[in-house]
Structure 1
Amino acid sequence: MLKAEKNGAERTRRLERVLRVEWLGQTVASLCWIVSVFVYGVSETGDWLQLAAASAWLVANVAAIASVEAD
């Protein structure tokens, strides 16, 4: 019973974080950045670096949601 309540509380905290404007804005921005790299083409080293930076930003946003800590 306690474990179910704890899991429910974690899910609620994750959902609250996902629905924050800051998180949504950063996630959408990183996804747009990734898409733009493919739209304009990956032809030089700088393009790969742009893709790596955008992907790292997206992974950091997802990791922030995955690691729910007690406030």
Structure 2
Amino acid sequence: MLTDNVQANVTSNRTPSRLERMLRIEWLGQTIASLCWIGSVLAYGISSNGDWLQLLAASAWLTANISAIAANEVESKP
């Protein structure tokens, strides 16, 4: 009985794969939101400096999400 509880509480040292991290709700939500933001800027057109800033911000957000997945994969390799 006690050994069952101890084994259940032991966490794995395995690093989640890139696909597992990409399928997490936090990453998916932020990535979908940034893609929608980019799409809305392009759909409404770029007619002012503010539109360019919106596009830049959304693109930076998407780039950060992608680089977070890539960076974790590099760091986890021995």
Q: Which amino acid is the alignment partner of residue 51 of structure 1?
A: L
User: Distance between the aligned counterparts of 2:17 and 2:62, measured in 1?
Assistant: 19
Q: Give 1:30 deviation, angstroms.
A: 0.1
TM-score by length of 1: 0.79
Bigger helix share: 1
Question: Alpha-carbon deviation of 1:13?
Answer: 1.6
Shift of 1:39: 0.5
Give the aligned partner of residue 67 of structure 2.
63
Q: 2:51 maps to what in 1?
A: 47
Q: CA deviation at 1:57?
A: 0.1
Deviation at 1:34, TM superposition (A): 0.2
**What is the count of residue pairs matched by the alignment?**
61
- Equivalent residue number for residue 32 of structure 2: 28
Alignment gaps of 5+ in structure 2? 1-13
Per-residue displacement from partner, 1:35-56 (whole Å, max 9, x unpaired)?
A: 0001001000000000000000
Percent of residue pairs bearing the same amino acid type: 67
Q: Which runs of 4+ in 1 moved over 4 A?
A: none
